[in-house]
Amino acid sequence: MNASPEHQRILLDIADLDRRIAQAERARTKPTQASRISELVAIRQEQLRELTALTGTRDDVRTELTRIESDVALVEQRRARDAQRLAAAVNPKEAQALEHEIASLARRQSDLEDAQLDVMGRVEDADAAVAAQQALLDTTTAEGTALTAQAKADVAAATDLGAQLARDREAVAATVPEPLLAEYTRRASNSAGAALLTRGTCEGCRIVLPGTDLNEIRRAAEDAVVSCPECGCILVRTEESGL
Q: Quote the pLDDT of residue 134.
A: 98
CA distances, 229 to each of 12, 180, 207 (Å): 18, 19, 10
* pLDDT score for 111: 94
Contact at 8 Å (CB) between 196 and 236?
A: yes
DSSP state of 2: B
Residue 242 φ then ψ, to 5° = 80, 30
Rg over alpha carbons for the chain, rounded to the nearest Å, is 42
In the sheet with 234-237, reading across from the earlier edge strand, the strands are 207-208, 201-202, 194-198, 234-237, 226-227
204 φψ region: left (φ > 0), alpha (ψ -120 to 50), beta (else): alpha
* pTM of the predicted structure, to 2 decimals: 0.73
Predicted confidence at residue 59, as pLDDT, reads 97
Q: Residue 165, exposed/middle/buried by CB under 10 A (0-12, 13-18, 19+)?
A: buried
Burial 175-209 (b: 16+ CB within 10 A, else e): ebeeebbebbeebbeebbbbbbbbebbbbbbeeeb
For strands 226-227 and 207-208, give the pairing: unpaired
Most distant CA pair in the chain, distance: 135
Task: Give the pLDDT of the chain (243 residues) as one tens digit per residue.
Answer: 899 999 999 999 999 999 999 999 999 999 999 999 999 999 999 999 999 999 999 999 999 999 999 999 999 999 999 889 888 877 888 888 888 999 999 999 999 999 999 999 999 999 999 999 999 999 999 999 999 999 999 999 999 999 999 999 999 999 999 999 999 999 999 999 999 999 999 999 999 999 999 999 999 999 999 999 999 999 999 888 877
The dihedral over CA atoms of 174, 177, 181, 183, expressed in degrees to the nearest 10, equals: 170
pLDDT of residue 159: 97
Contacts by 117-123, CB closer than 8 A, 24 or more apart: 119/61, 119/64, 119/65, 119/68, 120/65, 122/61, 123/58, 123/61, 123/62, 123/65
